[in-house]
Amino acid sequence: MALDLRVPRLRSAAILVLKRNIKVWRKLIGPALLMNFGEPTFYLLGLGFGLGAYIGQMSDMPYLTFLASGIIASSAMNTASFEGMYSVFTRMDQQGTYDAMLAAPLDCDDIIAGEMLWCATKSLISGVAIVVVAGLLGAIGGWQLLWLIPVLFLVGLCFAGPAIVMSALSPSYDFFTYYFTLVITPMFILCGVFYPTDTLPQALQSFTQILPLTHAVALVRPLAAGGEPGGVVLHLAVLAAYALVGFYLAVVLVRRRLIR
């Protein structure tokens, strides 16, 4: 069957989808925030202090700072990926939420744009929670942290698109295991969250350069640690490219699934 390849249009109706999701989130805000703050706290306390005692400095900063800045970026990735897969799939397939929206004057473009904004918002929330925890632990600080707000939002958009693509292709929840095992986990391990990528073999280093998390970490780490990121244009361009291509493919594939 012919795919509807028309370029998605951005309309204000996407905000209605975003607002709907925010309203649901607010109902479950207690457990949601507990997870946002609890998990990084244990990471930073355990790995940051535990491992940090052996490591001391990494890339000219305390290991706790190094790790916190990595976790801020990877948490934005994880949050958008989870939301774009499990939650989007639930709404698309299980709850019929999109069917109901499509019976109203919304279309797939609006729904997916709204979902991407929501994924990015959640990424931002989870990133900020870690910033707060790391700040309280004295690992990071300073006004330059405010730059993390737009950066984390962009990181969220970057990972939301591919995750929604997986949802659109998925027959069931089990399918997402492939994506987590083959895509998300390797990035988590390889892209500089726990150690600088320049210690990796050259071939692997080149490979990590095409992975978006590498570029997210490259922006987030200096901003968190109080420095100034280099190669900003390249990093932003890679993240934006993933976001835009992901958005386009997500809309086309969700159309294929719902409008047939």
Q: Give the residues lining the site for other proteins (CB under 8 A).
A: 1, 4, 13, 16, 19-20, 23-24, 27-28, 95-97, 99-107, 258-260
- Closer residue to other proteins (CB): 1 or 203: 1
- Closer residue to other proteins (CB): 1 or 182: 1
User: Minimum distance between the CB of residue 116 and other proteins, rounded to whole angstroms?
Assistant: 18
Give SS3 for 61.
strand
Question: Per residue in 179-197, is it b (16+ CB within 10 Å) or e — as a string?
Answer: bbeebbeebbebbbbbbeb
Half-sphere exposure of 100 (CA within 13 A, CB side): 8
- Closer residue to other proteins (CB): 7 or 182: 7
CB-based contact 190:70 (threshold 8 Å): no
Q: What is the DSSP letter of 6?
A: P
- Closer residue to other proteins (CB): 27 or 177: 27
Give SS3 for 216.
helix
- Closer residue to other proteins (CB): 91 or 221: 91
User: Minimum distance between the CB of residue 16 and other proteins, rounded to whole angstroms?
Assistant: 5
CA atoms of 126 and 132, how far apart (whole Å): 10
User: Minimum distance between the CB of residue 127 and other proteins, rounded to whole angstroms?
Assistant: 24
CA atoms of 85 and 53, how far apart (whole Å): 37
Half-sphere exposure of 52 (CA within 13 A, CB side): 18
- Closer residue to other proteins (CB): 97 or 123: 97
User: Minimum distance between the CB of residue 20 and other proteins, rounded to whole angstroms?
Assistant: 5
User: Minimum distance between the CB of residue 25 and other proteins, rounded to whole angstroms?
Assistant: 9
- Closer residue to other proteins (CB): 95 or 185: 95
Neighbours of 107 (CB within 10 A): 18
Residue 142 region by backbone torsions, left for phi larger than 0, else alpha for psi between -120 and 50, else beta: left
Which of 109, 115, 137, 82 lies closest to 253, judged by CA?
Answer: 109
User: Minimum distance between the CB of residue 90 and other proteins, rounded to whole angstroms?
Assistant: 10
